[in-house]
Structure 1
Amino acid sequence: MGDPSTRHRLLISLVLVAVLALSGRLVWVQGLDASARAEEAIAQRTVTRSIPALRGDITDRDGTVLASSVQRYDLWVNQTQVDDYLANSKTAEITGVEAAAQELAPVLGWSVSETEEALTGEAGFAYLRKNVEPAVRDAAIALGIPGIGADPVADRIYPAGSVAGNVLGFVGADGTALAGTELSFDDELAGTDGKTTYERGAQGQIIPTGKQETTPAVDGSDVVLTLDRDLQWKAQQVVASSVEQ
């Protein structure tokens, strides 16, 4: 059966090897691997959002705008944070979602019940209203409701309506050029989107002390056409009259 003292020394040696291996693992996890784990944690809570560039204007030869982009916003909510809201009125007897709905409803043009339904839930991100004007966005943010945010978007408009529509072309709902001058001169008109990157907490809130970086968007360049808006309108009227006859 062997020398008991030999077996004892062997057992002690095995225990020491196991302890040293475990200690080495702990050192690696707590020391050498700490930076890698920290970077992984930061990556998991880092969010990047796009800042769309505004397309350049398309004008006639006199500078009259035929196509232009305007700033709009998509309003969103982190429903898990709204319940922390305290109404702006010092005498308000209600708080949370109910209070937020009462104050936000007139801003959105919704009923209180519709607004309360949109604010209620466990979603970390849900759209409220898309493509709202800056004044609506400012009014919503000014209420100070936790979890309410807005992303900038661009809306393409054609102030002259259908005048020179076949020349101007159009863009899709996502801003992609699809036809006409919009497509032919897309490289000049499109610009370069920017981005904003930040760290967010477990409930989606921005961490004030976390990493925050913003690269501004570079708006597109204007394109000047040789046509005259008024002459083009008259020409289209003549063509339309001829077709009707």
Structure 2
Amino acid sequence: MVLRLGNPRRRINIGLIGMTFILSIFAGRLVQMQGLDSKVYEAAAVDQRLHTEEIPAKRGSITDVNGHALAVTVEARELSIDPSKVPAESRAKWAAILAQQLGKSQEDITAKLARTNTRYQRLATDVDPVVASRLLQARVPALTAEKTYRRLYPAGDLAGSLIGFVGDEGDGLGGMEQTQNSVLAGRDGEQRVETGRDGLRIPMTSTQRTPPVNGRDVRLTVDRDIQWAAQESIAEQVKKSGADSGAVIVMDVRTGQIVAMANAPELDLNNWRKAPAASYINKAASDVFEPGSTNKVITAAAAIEAGAVSPDTVFQVPDQIKCADRVLNDAHTHKVESMTFRQAVAESSNVATIMAARKVGSEGLYNMLKAFGFGSRPGGGVPGAEAGLLPHYQDWSGSQQCTVAYGQGVSVTALQMTSVYQTIANGGVKVEPQIVAGTTDENGRFVPAPAGKQTRVVSEETAKEITTMLESAVGEEGTGELAAIPGYRVAGKTGTANRYDAKLGRYDGYTASFVGFAPADQPRLVVLAMLQNPKNGHFGGQLAAPVFKDVMTFAIKSRKIPPTGSDAPPVRTRAGQ
């Protein structure tokens, strides 16, 4: 038999045809990728390599009226690490070094280094650049440092709840830091760079950079020195009296600018995370309370402005008065007494104040309270400012028609009550409270804030009459004798009100206050002092008046306000004089 083999040329031809077909597919795909779709793949490759880095903007500063720093931003570093590149045998050593330098617990750092399934772990933010440089020089494996900023508060707790603080994301979370955040924050920039698989930048590649816009500075009307004196005085009195809290406000009579706004206890801004949330609140502007006898100036203003009474009007005043279904008592027991309205204010007679209010009527008193700002949130950008509570006169109960006259049944804030006395001291013209003196523009130049809105509330003559009455209240026969300042004429009023406790749902304890201005004949400053729920005494003349005296004395010396040298005009205090 003869074995016939297949034709090899045929097999070769078939193989060549198959290889040609396959190669043509590869060639077509190659032409598509490198020719037709080259730009698509090139863009995809660039996207893989391209990374966007945020360039943080520097936050603006907050200063007092004289430019002293209250909140500043300094350069810092954010440290992160790739745990997968830290050798297991040296992990404990590096954890100890990092913990010691960063002020962290070694257990926390060790736990982060143990997460080898991730390539990124943030170790710390707000790191001092010197510390970051020291760790980089120590060649900690896969450690990276990014430039950032941290917020510092050089004055600690000075005006803490007023200034507020900044959170981890760089936004203001309270106080002026929050209300002025759009001014202070600026706008972050960004940088787009190409990096390799190891995360390092590829040399000679293009970079797209949008520069950041730094924040602008905010200058407050607060005077650092007077703020310190106010905080020291109210903190000491809160401690001495066993009060829950206290507040002091100092305001410029002519401009409405807030010179000091102190709370006790105050928030330490450098340790705000450890503080209770209640201390974040600017109580001087947000805590609502019944004002008590400090409110009697509004009743007096309504009665005098309407022509219903004058300071010399004589009332026959018993020590109690019936109002609807209640009998309301005077500040102290006494026989029926002939009393001028001036004497009634000086001695803080509730009954005489009710008698004057009845000559005006509930509607007239309500309109005057509203004109002085009760029931409305003050403007001026003060953080946390509340409106208080002023029910419509048609909703007043029978007894409330009397108690409102001496400051029970309405609620205000310390800021609102300070504004009332600023209006009287300013000749009857109310100036909207101001807390921001101005800001810097894009070029760093200072731009003053517009002046506060001015509104006439009562006539200049009425304001002068009330001022003389308030001077009598600080005289020897008044309840505010402890507020007197040697060499200066002082006008003011005490307040002692029952305190409503929202937690208990009933009245419990007292609110003690004093508010006044000096010099009485040429007023420059208003000072309000208030204590909530004191345990050792409760009268405003006993507890708040000494704080007023301390703060006002310091403030007038600090501002070099001289005594006017004039004496109080002779007035008729008692009936029959």
TM-score normalised by length of structure 1: 0.72
Deviation at 1:233, TM superposition (A): 1.3
CA deviations 1:128-172 (Å, max 9, x no partner) are: 333210001122233455632112232222111221123212222
Matched residue, 1:202? 197
Runs of 4+ in 1 over 6 A off after TM superposition: 16-22, 109-117
After superposition, residues 73-152 of structure 1 pair within 5 angstroms as 73-81=77-85, 101=94, 105=98, 107-108=101-102, 121=116, 123-144=118-139, 147-152=142-147
Tell me which amino acid in the other structure corresponds to 1:135: V
Tell me which amino acid in the other structure corresponds to 1:173: D
1:47 counterpart SS class: strand
Q: Is the 8 A contact 1:189 1:221 kept in 2?
A: yes
Matched residue, 1:212? 207
Deviation at 1:206, TM superposition (A): 2.7
Matched residue, 1:229? 224
Structure 1 residues 67 and 45 mapped into 2: Cα distance closer, same or farther (>3 Å)? same
Structure 1 residues 103 and 167 mapped into 2: Cα distance closer, same or farther (>3 Å)? closer
Match of 1:172 among 167, 190, 193: 167
Matched residue, 1:62? 66
Q: Is the 8 A contact 2:82 2:121 kept in 1?
A: yes
Match of 2:234 among 229, 234, 239: 239
2:203 counterpart SS class: coil
In structure 1, C-alpha distance between the alignment counterparts of 2:188 and 2:105, rounded to whole Å: 35
In structure 1, C-alpha distance between the alignment counterparts of 2:175 and 2:207, rounded to whole Å: 39
In structure 1, C-alpha distance between the alignment counterparts of 2:109 and 2:149, rounded to whole Å: 25
In structure 2, C-alpha distance between the alignment counterparts of 1:207 and 1:22, rounded to whole Å: 31
1:171 counterpart SS class: coil
Matched residue, 2:42? 38
In structure 2, C-alpha distance between the alignment counterparts of 1:186 and 1:111, rounded to whole Å: 33
Tell me which amino acid in the other structure corresponds to 1:38: E
CA deviations 1:34-90 (Å, max 9, x no partner) are: 22111111112222222221211111111110111122211112345556xxxxxxx
Deviation at 1:33, TM superposition (A): 1.0
Deviation at 1:188, TM superposition (A): 1.8
Matched residue, 1:185? 180
1:62 counterpart SS class: coil
In structure 2, C-alpha distance between the alignment counterparts of 1:147 and 1:36, rounded to whole Å: 34
TM-score normalised by length of structure 2: 0.34
Aligned length: 220
2:46 counterpart SS class: helix
CA deviations 1:165-192 (Å, max 9, x no partner) are: 2321222222212332222222221112
In structure 2, C-alpha distance between the alignment counterparts of 1:135 and 1:18, rounded to whole Å: 63
In structure 1, C-alpha distance between the alignment counterparts of 2:164 and 2:231, rounded to whole Å: 16
**CA RMSD across the alignment:** 3.5
Q: Is the 8 A contact 1:51 1:194 kept in 2?
A: yes
Give ranges in structure 2 of 5+ residues lacking alignment. Answer: 1-19, 242-577
Q: Is the 8 A contact 1:101 1:112 kept in 2?
A: no
Q: Is the 8 A contact 1:78 1:148 kept in 2?
A: yes
In structure 2, C-alpha distance between the alignment counterparts of 1:49 and 1:58, rounded to whole Å: 28
- Larger relative contact order (Cα-Cα within 8 Å, sequence gap ≥ 6): 1
Structure 1 residues 143 and 214 mapped into 2: Cα distance closer, same or farther (>3 Å)? farther
In structure 2, C-alpha distance between the alignment counterparts of 1:219 and 1:182, rounded to whole Å: 15
2:35 counterpart SS class: helix
Tell me which amino acid in the other structure corresponds to 1:37: Y
2:173 counterpart SS class: strand
Q: Percent identity?
A: 36
Q: Is the 8 A contact 1:81 1:203 kept in 2?
A: no
Q: Is the 8 A contact 1:101 1:113 kept in 2?
A: no
Matched residue, 2:374? none
Structure 1 residues 220 and 25 mapped into 2: Cα distance closer, same or farther (>3 Å)? same
Structure number, greater radius of gyration: 2
In structure 2, C-alpha distance between the alignment counterparts of 1:240 and 1:102, rounded to whole Å: 43
1:50 counterpart SS class: strand
Deviation at 1:108, TM superposition (A): 4.7
Q: Is the 8 A contact 1:69 1:155 kept in 2?
A: yes
Structure 1 residues 110 and 173 mapped into 2: Cα distance closer, same or farther (>3 Å)? closer
Tell me which amino acid in the other structure corresponds to 1:149: T
1:235 counterpart SS class: helix
